[in-house]
């Protein structure tokens, strides 16, 4: 039986990944500092044969007894508000955390998959973004802590591949949504959905003309598993190429919830990327992957998960 370590295993993506790996017959160890992760995301897995959880901060030296076949490094604060509140933790988990997990991969001769991000492209000057675009990142801006940590993480991943022969994979994850996103993580979907379900004003930043492309979580996890099980050494964009403005996205959410909320406009955060859409040619051709879940369908499942949780929020 293959044995995998998932850092950030109690997070939004990490918990879905643990679940899918278990279904595929892996033994799974989830590790999480619970800084932004939540045990409720994996409570249904605790006690299942083949699943274990370690409460641990991956920025410290990591030791796992026994064999490991795969390490998937998903630990990191992941929303712009988190980077503002946890800038040093964000830098540490992307740098020290990646170093530690790569060291472990080398020791165990395990495959290593890095959860990287479309943020490595910064506020992109090329559109859509292909993997060979080097990006336009402000290293000293508020998002720089995340962008540069992930750029460093990619660099050290390639260094371990070239120097130590570690079998590495790099996944550049674009905006993803679905059940288990933190209600108050400040990202567009949880904010808009919570506001719409509560009948509050929906806060679009700037004039709402900036674009994003939203991928449903099951599609994203499918792409990650395909990448893990492939032999592709180069970074691969995984995301949904259906691009829309944030204003359109807000209106879709208001319509999907049947809410009477109206859109209001707030100031645009510094260095907010103006446009983002993955070019997924590489994933299509090398992994045979492309997203299948349309926004309406993914949104319906996400609303179903959010509804009872939003109704429990203190007003």
Task: Give the residues lining the site for ligand UDP (CB under 6 A).
Answer: 79-80, 175, 187-188, 191, 203-205, 210, 212, 246, 269, 272
**How far is it, in rounded angstroms, from Cα 127 to Cα 74?**
26
Nearer to ligand UDP by Cβ, of 33 and 210: the residue is: 210
The nearest distance, CB 83 to ligand UDP, in angstroms, is 9
Is the distance from CB of 228 to CB of 113 less than 8 angstroms? yes
CA distances, 238 to each of 88, 177, 184, 273 (Å):
27, 13, 25, 18
Supply the angle between the helices 144-164 and 87-108 in degrees, to the nearest 10: 10
Is the distance from CB of 222 to CB of 283 less than 8 angstroms? no
The nearest distance, CB 237 to ligand UDP, in angstroms, is 14
Q: Residue 66 region, left (φ>0) first, then alpha (ψ -120 to 50), else beta?
A: left
* Tokens matching residue 236: 């691969």
Q: In which element (H, E) is residue 264 found?
A: strand 263-266
Nearer to ligand UDP by Cβ, of 69 and 201: the residue is: 201
Nearer to ligand UDP by Cβ, of 15 and 210: the residue is: 210
Catalytically annotated residue among 26, 83, 121, 146:
146
**How far is it, in rounded angstroms, from Cα 33 to Cα 250?**
32
CA 249, 255, 258, 264 torsion-angle sign: positive
Tell me the three state secondary structure of residue 291.
coil
The nearest distance, CB 143 to ligand UDP, in angstroms, is 8
Nearer to ligand UDP by Cβ, of 151 and 187: the residue is: 187
Nearer to ligand UDP by Cβ, of 157 and 175: the residue is: 175
146 among known catalytic residues = yes
**Greatest Cα pair distance in the chain:** 58
Nearer to ligand UDP by Cβ, of 150 and 187: the residue is: 187
Identify the CA nearest to 127 among candidates 243, 22, 5. Answer: 243
Tally of CB atoms within 10 A around 230: 15
Active site positions, annotated = 146
């Amino acid at each position: 039986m293959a044995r995998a370590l998932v850092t950030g295993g109690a997070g939004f993506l990490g918990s879905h990944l643990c679940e899918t790996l278990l279904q595929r017959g892996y033994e799974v160890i989830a590790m999480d500092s619970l800084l932004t992760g939540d045990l409720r995301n994996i409570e249904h897995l605790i006690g299942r044969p083949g699943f274990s959880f370690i409460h641990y901060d991956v920025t410290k030296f990591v030791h796992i007894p026994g064999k490991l076949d795969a390490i998937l490094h998903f630990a990191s604060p992941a929303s712009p508000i988190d980077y503002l509140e946890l800038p040093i933790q964000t830098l540490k988990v992307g740098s020290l955390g990646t170093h530690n997990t790569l060291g472990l991969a080398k020791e165990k001769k395990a495959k290593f998959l890095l959860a990287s991000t479309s943020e490595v492209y910064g506020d992109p000057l090329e559109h859509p973004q292909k993997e060979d675009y080097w990006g336009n990142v402000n290293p000293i801006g508020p998002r720089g802590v995340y962008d540069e940590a992930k750029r460093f993480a990619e660099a050290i991943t390639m260094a371990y591949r070239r120097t130590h022969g570690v079998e590495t994979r790099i996944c550049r994850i674009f905006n993803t949504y679905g059940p288990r996103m933190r209600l108050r993580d400040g990202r567009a979907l949880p904010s808009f959905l919570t506001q719409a379900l509560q009948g509050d004003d929906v806060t679009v930043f700037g004039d709402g003309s900036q674009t994003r492309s939203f991928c449903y979580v099951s599609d994203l996890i499918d792409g990650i598993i395909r990448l893990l099980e492939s032999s592709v050494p180069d970074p691969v964009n995984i995301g949904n190429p259906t691009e829309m403005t944030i204003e359109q996205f807000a209106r879709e959410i208001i319509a999907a919830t049947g809410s009477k909320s109206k859109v209001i406009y707030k100031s645009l955060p510094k260095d907010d990327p103006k446009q983002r859409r993955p070019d997924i040619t590489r994933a299509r051709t090398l992994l045979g992957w492309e997203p299948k879940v349309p926004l309406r369908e993914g949104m319906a499942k996400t609303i179903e998960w959010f509804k009872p949780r939003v109704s429990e929020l203190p007003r």
